[in-house]
Amino acid sequence: MVRGRISRLSVRDVRFPTSLGGHGSDAMHTDPDYSAAYVVIETDAEDGIKGCGITFTLGKGTEVDWSRKGRGAPGDSGRPKRGVGLVGQAGGKACLEVTCGHEKQMLAQGYPAYTTSCAWLGYSDDTLKQLCAQALKDGWTRFKVKVGTDLQDDMRRCQIIRDMIGPEKTLMMDANQRWDVPEAVEWMSKLAKFKPLWIEEPTSPDDILGHATISKALVPLGIGIATGEQCHNRVIFKQLLQAKALQFLQIDSCRLGSVNENLSVLLMAKKFEIPVCPHAGGVGLCELVQHLIIFDYISVSASLENRVCEYVDHLHEHFKYPVMIQRASYMPPKDPGYSTEMKEESVKKHQYPDGEVWKKLLPAQEN
């Protein structure tokens, strides 16, 4: 029985001026404005069911996604922006039935997370220290720092963070594809003294054998390779796994173009016994990926060993069903759907270029 037919599709360019505070800055993107092509599919169903989808970009890439979605075409906004993954926020009712110990554990303890919010590359030392101190106060035990543009600056910033969090807490590093292969090995050999759990995206995400070479050099130093946020299909992940090119697999809920594609990667990771530690943050990526990590734990991996999901404390207030973080862990969502619906007030305010926020900012930027 057909519940309803599509009656209307709208696409809106929503941009948040995160560059003003240095939020999201890294070795490849020094001043990003976290943005999204926000799609709403309405139906003529009596209960008003609708689907909401987002494509995370860094600002200008939204125009590419907007034009493709406006034509009804799936697509990819192109590196370094994020790819397309239209997903639904279905209406109706949800029922959470606890049937096993894994589900009970999720409800009680949540899924472990790490924070990237303390150490964006554009933050001053004072900001870094202030945010790191607050994160420690809030109970965070796993921290990620952006690296890759200047070795001496990286050494100094990593020393600050390691001194603040102590030797027992976990530190990760992320180069955002900045290096070539020999440079990645040399650079991380110098940063190994800070005991990072992994180096994320040390080189081009398409260089499978390059990642394998870096992995072979760094694993003896106790540093794993984490990558995957820019991988757009299961075939790239298959090659990374077969080449033993990574120790931590990072799915991205938007880059991989559907839930099904993500699930196929989760199954491969299980087969190769590689932990999944998803990329998140951006606009709505935490809201999306929470569903995938909980499914992975309950239905695929049944393990939390060496598993952790990224959390970035930005822009959640613009979503109708924001993620819930308690004790540095993702708590299972209790609302139906994929948590992609944005607040209409936020969309109107940040719509580019006619929203209230941009009507004020654009003239100032031009001057």
**H/E element holding 116?**
strand 111-119
The strand pairing partners of 170, in sequence order, are: 142
| Closest to 173 measured CA to CA, from 181, 157, 182, 325 | 157
* 144, two tokens: 């990620």
190 a catalytic residue: no
| Strand order across the beta sheet in which 50-57 lies | 6-15, 35-43, 50-57
Report residue 140: phi and psi, to 5°: -75, 140
Q: From the candidates 29, 146, 211, 350, which is the catalytic residue?
A: 146
Inter-residue contact 90 to 51 (CB < 8 Å): yes
Judge if the upstream peptide bond of residue 333 is cis by omega within 30 degrees of 0.
no
Report residue 19: phi and psi, to 5°: -65, -25
232 a catalytic residue: no
Report residue 55: phi and psi, to 5°: -120, 115
Q: From the candidates 29, 81, 144, 279, which is the catalytic residue?
A: 279
Sign of the Cα pseudo-torsion (153, 154, 157, 159, in order): negative
As a whole number of angstroms, the distance between CA 57 and CA 80 comes to 8
Measure CA 268 to chain center. 20
Buried b (16+ CB within 10 A) or exposed e, 293-313: bbebbbeebeebeebbbbbbb
Inter-residue contact 188 to 215 (CB < 8 Å): no
Catalytic residues: 146, 279
